[in-house]
Amino acid sequence: GQQVMQIPQYQHVQEGEDFTTYCNSSTTLSNIQWYKQRPGGHPVFLIQLVKSGEVKKQKRLTFQFGEAKKNSSLHITATQTTDVGTYFCAGPKMDSSYKLIFGSGTRLLVRP
**Which residues in this chain contact another protein in the complex, by CB under 8 A?**
31, 33, 35, 41-48, 50, 88, 90-92, 96-105
**Alpha carbon of 21 to those of 10, 17, 35, 61: distances in Å?**
9, 14, 12, 11
- Provide DSSP, 36-72: EE-TTS-EEEEEEE-STT-EEEETTEEEEE-TTSSEE
Measure Cα distances from 81 to 8, 39, 46, 68 in Å: 19, 12, 18, 33
Least distance (Å) between residue 95 CB and another protein: 11
Residue closer to another protein by CB (options 84, 100) is 100
Nearer to another protein, 79 or 106 (CB): 106
Q: How far is the CB of 78 from another protein (least distance, A)?
A: 25
Q: How far is the CB of 111 from another protein (least distance, A)?
A: 23
Task: Kindly tell me which of 5 and 78 has the beta carbon lying closer to another protein.
Answer: 5
